[in-house]
Chains A and B, each alone.
Chain A
Amino acid sequence: MGKSRLLMSKLGAAKYISHLDFMRTARRAFARAEIPLRCSEGFNPHPLMSFALPLSVGQESVCELLDFETAGEMPPDALRRLNAALPEGISAGELYEAGRKPGLLRWLEVEGRLYYDGGIPDGASEALGVFFASGSLVIRLKTKRGEQETDIAPRIRGAAFTDAGGGVIAARAVISAQNPTLNPDAIAAAAGAAGFAPDFAEWRRAEIYDEDMRVFR
């Protein structure tokens, strides 16, 4: 059996599960669904499986890709069985043969909610739109060499902001998925640099794309 790929969602309470724990949770779900996974050789064998892009704790996603190899034939009702074995908030949407390597994944579309407890400042959405289109977005960013002034503009392909009511600005952005990656929290930080720091921000991964902005599966 070759590599298989699972398109998964991680929503609600499940967004607090860390990347490592998500792996553990997925492994146990396969065991509960009685779909044996191929294991690594050696003293401490472990199932061969990996997620395409680690997801930060607290962020939701409807486009997580999990690659794995089964030890035997894939049961025809595998998707149903897996969904019955997953905890609240995690679900599997599509199951197919893995095609292109996850390394070819290039862009990530994220949706965010920026909360302003004192109400949205006048003209904030428009101002943010202009600011993000200005071509230079320098913020302090944690890097391997400590915190550094970094221009994140090259990692943002586009960003749009609209009033969602109730003191919330809805954000939608296409950002670099990897090499280098950008945590969407940086968008909230950049909004702060523009003078519109939200009191709280939430993010959800909405879609993944390749270099040519074709949906990646």
Chain B
Amino acid sequence: MNEKLKRALRRVEKPARYAGGEFNRIVKNKADIDLRVALCFPDTYEIGMSNLGMRVLYDAANRIERVWCERVFAPWGDMDAEMRAAGIPLFALESGDDVRDFDIAAFSLGYEMAYTAALNMLSLAGLPLRSAERENLTPLVIAGGACCFNPEPMADFFDLFLIGEGEELNCELYELLRAAKADRLTKPEFLRRAAGLRGVYVPSLYGVSYNADGTVAGITPREGAPLPVVKRVAAGFVSSAAPSGAVVPSTEIVHDRAAIELLRGCIRGCRFCQAGYIYRPAREREPEKLAESGISALKASGYDELTLLSLSTSDHSRLLEVCDRLLEYCEPRNISLSLPSLRADNFSMELMSRVQRVRKSGLTFAPEAGSRRLRDIINKNVTEEELLNTCRIAFEGGWSSVKLYFMLGLPGETDEDVLAIAELSNRVLHTWRAHAKNKNRGVRIAVSTSCFVPKPHTAFQWSAQVPREEYSRRVSLLRENMRAKSVTYSWHDADTSFIEAALARGDRRLGAVLEAAHRRGGRLDAWGEYFNIGRWLASFEEYGLDPDFYACRERAYSEILPWSVVSSGVDESFLISENEAAKRGETTPDCRTKCSGCGARELCGEGVCYEGGLYG
């Protein structure tokens, strides 16, 4: 470690996050390496190290011979200032080497509010922000992750985007770059080649024109680039083992536990949920593989908690078997099993008895909407009876705290729907009074609401977000009607959701806005400490753009959507029919009950599409 860095680390909070040296981190001999990858996460160490995608891609890349993949996170504000003052460029944790000397800087873009953090990392690395200003082939600056399903707002900055699941695609790209280096290709030559790889979007090979009203007039690919770029699905997920050798941080992180991915995608088809659409089709790992991976993840890490991750954990068709296999190992060792993302309609006594065996944490459910009517609109098909029944089981089982998540501002929401959240919360409280095993400990019901953000590639991608004032009015309405003492209500601020909505459905013109927001000091906008709405509004204004145009405008089906350059494999006609069904308040069955023919079946040869329904 150099002298400058040592001095900086004496002055900053939690220096361990910049020091590296953690157990299980991978160090290779530089002499044996011909491709160096910096896996960059545009948020703090604590968040990035908790990210499952980072763990998966780090593992996959380092399995390749002669490739060394290292981790890079965004520094907190104090460290950012120290680095700039001392002239310490952004460095990778394993080697301490400067990111600008790597062959690839690969960013994971999982949420829009991290965009400025990504730009700030490029600036800390001493690299020009814009792709066009980086003339050399390396470092190639690329991005993957859920946000790349609308790559346009960040299109000016990245050389290319990887659309979809990265396990194979990332590695194919590394090989291609390795060959390009050997062949001494120029950057444009390489990018043309890369565009031929399925799932790769090279923005510089597409022209975008606009109508007078600001909507997109046309998207024109050049030099044989595909339109649309169809996302990649990793092959063989079902029978694959989950990576188990994750780096064990030496300082506490947000999700400080071993984690394995139980199932990918979701069978449910909630109409607001981007993950539900872009990770189709739903695929579940085999119980044997899950048990094996879970146990080796625990052994390799020494963690005392294992979490089974997915979008909807209780939808794994053999979850009880998975739990039993794992508990056999965990119970005698005092290791607890946690199951986030449970659905309120299939949470059973059997399942409860398994998760509570070692340690009992709180239960969290996301009914998303307070009334049956609105839940039908969004296709969140959980009934009130199911939710209350689940709560009864939990209270009888000794649980005394429940968290309930809702959204405000969903399409078609009325004041009655808002008030229904308060009623539902009260009924949960009554259920506790009637069924709690131990009333002395009291009950805590925590209700929270966020402002709905319409996302690309969902049934609501054409919908308007409610204006901020309207969200605030609904929050007040709900707050006035949440009277019970044991029910606490908290809400997310509307400003962040508003900017998130503008960025989520933005076009290429937002590149200038993002650059301006960074120039004005935007660093870690995902953090309340750093987010500043004034900075964003000024940056939009500087370029004559209106965030309302992106966030609060309802689009016509005929409009060319900026993100239509990318396809999730789900047909637009299916999204339209879902949006129309929402307007009629009609629900769509889950993929396991009946296939609705969304189009994703063509993407891969396994998963729920082949389990029954239409094709069975």
Residues of A within 8 A of B (CB): 12-14, 16-18, 20-21, 24-25, 27-32, 34, 36, 39, 44-45, 57-58, 85-89, 200, 202
Q: Which of B23, B303, B359: most chain A CB closer than 10 A?
A: B23
Q: Does B485 contact A (CB under 8 A)?
A: no
Query: Which chain B residues in 289-341 approach chain A with CB under 8 Å?
Result: 299-304, 333-334
Structural contact, A13 and B21, CB atoms closer than 8 A = yes
Structural contact, A58 and B15, CB atoms closer than 8 A = yes
Q: Does B510 contact A (CB under 8 A)?
A: no
| Shortest CB distance B104–A (Å) | 25
A113 to B16, CA, bound (A): 21
Q: List the B side residues contacting A45 at CB < 8 Å.
A: 334
Q: List 29 A-B contacts (CB under 8 A).
A: A12-B1, A13-B1, A14-B250, A17-B16, A17-B19, A17-B250, A18-B14, A18-B251, A21-B250, A21-B251, A24-B252, A25-B23, A28-B23, A28-B248, A28-B303, A30-B302, A31-B303, A32-B23, A32-B302, A44-B359, A45-B334, A58-B9, A86-B23, A87-B248, A88-B22, A89-B21, A200-B7, A200-B10, A202-B6
Q: List the A side residues contacting B467 at CB < 8 Å.
A: none
Query: Which chain B residues in 1-57 approach chain A with CB under 8 Å?
Result: 1, 6-7, 9-10, 14-16, 18-23, 25
A153 to B23, CA, bound (A): 41
Q: List the A side residues contacting B6 at CB < 8 Å.
A: 200, 202
Name B252's closest neighbour in chain A (CB-CB).
Answer: A21
Name B12's closest neighbour in chain A (CB-CB).
Answer: A16
Q: How many residues of B contact A (CB 8 A)?
A: 28
Given A30-B302, A32-B302, A58-B15; A12-B10 close (CB under 8 Å): no
Structural contact, B10 and A18, CB atoms closer than 8 A = no
Structural contact, A18 and B301, CB atoms closer than 8 A = no
Q: List the A side residues contacting B304 at CB < 8 Å.
A: 27, 31
Structural contact, B23 and A85, CB atoms closer than 8 A = yes
Given A13-B21, A18-B16, A86-B23; A29-B302 close (CB under 8 Å): yes
Task: Digitize B246-280: 1 where CB-to-A-CB distance is under 8 Å, 0 elsewhere.
Answer: 00101110000000000000000000000000000
A12 to B96, CA, bound (A): 13
A128 to B300, CA, bound (A): 50
Q: List the B side residues contacting A85 at CB < 8 Å.
A: 23, 302
Structural contact, A17 and B251, CB atoms closer than 8 A = yes
Structural contact, A13 and B302, CB atoms closer than 8 A = no
| Shortest CB distance B512–A (Å) | 39
Q: List the B side residues contacting A28 at CB < 8 Å.
A: 23, 248, 301-303
7 A-B pairs closest in CB distance: A28-B302, A31-B302, A13-B21, A88-B21, A32-B302, A87-B23, A16-B15
Q: List the A side residues contacting B359 at CB < 8 Å.
A: 44
A128 to B572, CA, bound (A): 78
Q: List the A side residues contacting B303 at CB < 8 Å.
A: 28, 31
Q: List the A side residues contacting B300 at CB < 8 Å.
A: 32
Name B10's closest neighbour in chain A (CB-CB).
Answer: A58
Structural contact, B302 and A16, CB atoms closer than 8 A = no
Name B1's closest neighbour in chain A (CB-CB).
Answer: A13
Q: List the A side residues contacting B7 at CB < 8 Å.
A: 200
A37 to B1, CA, bound (A): 34
Query: Which chain B residues in 549-608 approach chain A with CB under 8 Å?
Result: none
A24 to B333, CA, bound (A): 17
A21 to B18, CA, bound (A): 14
Given A86-B23, A87-B21; A57-B15 close (CB under 8 Å): yes
| Shortest CB distance A43–B (Å) | 8
A36 is contacted by which of B9, B15, B333 (Cβ under 8 Å)?
Answer: B333
Structural contact, A25 and B10, CB atoms closer than 8 A = no
Query: Which chain B residues in 217-260 approach chain A with CB under 8 Å?
Result: 248, 250-252
A31 to B252, CA, bound (A): 17
A31 to B7, CA, bound (A): 34
Structural contact, B302 and A12, CB atoms closer than 8 A = no
A101 to B487, CA, bound (A): 49
Structural contact, B16 and A16, CB atoms closer than 8 A = yes
| Shortest CB distance A155–B (Å) | 22
A13 to B16, CA, bound (A): 8
Q: List the B side residues contacting A24 at CB < 8 Å.
A: 252
Extra inter-chain contacts (4) besides given A28-B303, A31-B302, CB under 8 Å: A32-B299, A58-B9, A200-B10, A202-B6
Q: List the B side residues contacting A88 at CB < 8 Å.
A: 20-22, 25
Structural contact, B334 and A39, CB atoms closer than 8 A = yes
Q: List the B side residues contacting A16 at CB < 8 Å.
A: 9, 15-16, 18-19
Given A17-B251, A18-B251, A202-B6; A12-B301 close (CB under 8 Å): no
